[in-house]
Amino acid sequence: MAGLAESGSNPDVELLYDINGLAKDAPHWFDRVMEFVGEYGLLFAIVLLVLWCWWGVRRRGGEDAASHVAALVWAPLAAGVAVLINVPIRGFVERPRPFKTHDGLEVLIEGKNDFSFVSDHATLVMALAVALFVAHRRFGIAAIVLALFGGFARVYMGVHYPTDVVGGFALGTAVALLLSPVAMALLTPLTRAIERSPRVGWLVSARGPEGTAGRDAVIPGARKESAGAGERDLAA
């Protein structure tokens, strides 16, 4: 292939052709499935995990419910902040999509004319997944696995280089972790105020502040400490 020959010994381009080459050998229906999964399906699945986790936290209630809900609220906010940070990065790097500079790729989705580095999809799903992990280990691990597969799907679809995806994973992880203390300091008082409201308190806790806290929290001991300690643990 002309594009592969031009890549020389570039492992990024070689891996792109290896992964995208799977799309050429796969049945047409499987490529359509990967197109949907890579573009919408995995992001939707991770959002459902965040909502499922929130439903369980509010149903159990407990003195730490507000802190856990604040951590879950941070998940979509972290994804949004990460994508906003990526806007100037993409404009500065200005890396074309791989199918614009390399021949012979099987591109499963059309209309991708913006820049390639860093991958918005990879940034978005990993920020969601890592922020969810901070709030809940079990759900977070499942989300991270889905995010990793989502990155693979973007390369499989021929719309990103592997390094675009790795860069997105790194950016999403950094935003979710590094800004978490600030986010928790701002969001936890808000969720506590909502919890005390007779009208919308059910959004945070169905049982009130004295229920049982979740045993799968990242910092299990937080449920036995004061509310302030719980906030510090989640922000760590």
Q: Looking at 37-46, 134-143, 194-203, 216-225, which range is the least confident one? A: 216-225
Q: What is the mean pLDDT of residues 40-62?
A: 88
Tell me which residue of 94, 228, 60, 86 sits closest to 168, measured CA to CA.
86
How would residue 20 be classed by pLDDT, with cut points 50, 70 and 90? confident
For 114-135, what is each residue's pLDDT tens digit? 888 989 999 999 999 999 999 8
Phi and psi (nearest 5°) for 161? -75, 155
How would residue 151 be classed by pLDDT, with cut points 50, 70 and 90? very high
Q: What is the mean pLDDT of residues 189-218?
A: 68
How would residue 31 be classed by pLDDT, with cut points 50, 70 and 90? confident
How would residue 207 be classed by pLDDT, with cut points 50, 70 and 90? low
How would residue 236 be classed by pLDDT, with cut points 50, 70 and 90? very low
pTM confidence score = 0.79
